[in-house]
Amino acid sequence: METNSKYNFEWKDLGNIALGRPNLGTSTHVLVYRLMQYTMRDVLEKHLGPEKTNEIFVESGYKAGAEFCKNAIDCTLDFDGFMAHLTATLEKFGIGILRVEKADVGTMSFVLTVSEDLDCSGLPYSGVAFCDYDEGFIAGIMHTYTGVDFKVKEVDCWGTGERTCRFTVDGQSR
């Protein structure tokens, strides 16, 4: 597919962090991540509106999830092994603590929770679910592993008063 984009992200574009940050390394503060995400969301909403902004965050999350899965997760494992490896890797990278609440591999239907996530854990109640990016991230990971398209929806969030983010993850028929 032809694109007129000046930038087409690939994993290699993340660069050589050890070379570029010999003293600071790979760590940064969650506040800095949220500062980038929330200010970007604010500006995008002003220019494009909330609905288009949410679409962009989901699409961006999807691309990130697919790249993360291809480059950081072992996709040759069986489902249980894959989920265990994914859980350990998300925790290792400080993304969050993944738990599988329900899993029906036959129908590709899951309920997942992510605690201590980057996007919203600890936010005050606002009545708004914040994890559009995470919806895409999970869908990108699951698609990359299974080859199935997924509809991911956040049903619980810190922003809506819950203490973990909960997602329904449903494989879609083509």
pLDDT digits (tens, 9 = 90+) for 98-124: 999 999 999 999 999 999 999 999 999
DSSP helix/strand/coil, 163: coil
- Which tokens in the block code for residue 76? 């040759």
Whether residue 12 lies inside any domain: the answer is no
Q: What is the structure's pLDDT at 174?
A: 55
Whether residue 2 lies inside any domain: the answer is no
Q: Is residue 1's pLDDT more than 50? A: no
Residues with Cβ within 8 Å of residue 161, at least 6 apart in sequence:
125, 127
Three-state SS for 83-140 is HHHHHHHHHHCCCCEEEEEEEECCCCEEEEEEECCCCCCCCCCCCCCCCHHHHHHHHH
* Residue range(s) defining the domain that contains residue 163: 26-172
Whether residue 3 lies inside any domain: the answer is no
pTM: 0.93
Residue 38 maps to which CATH number?
3.30.1380.20
| Domain count across the chain | 1
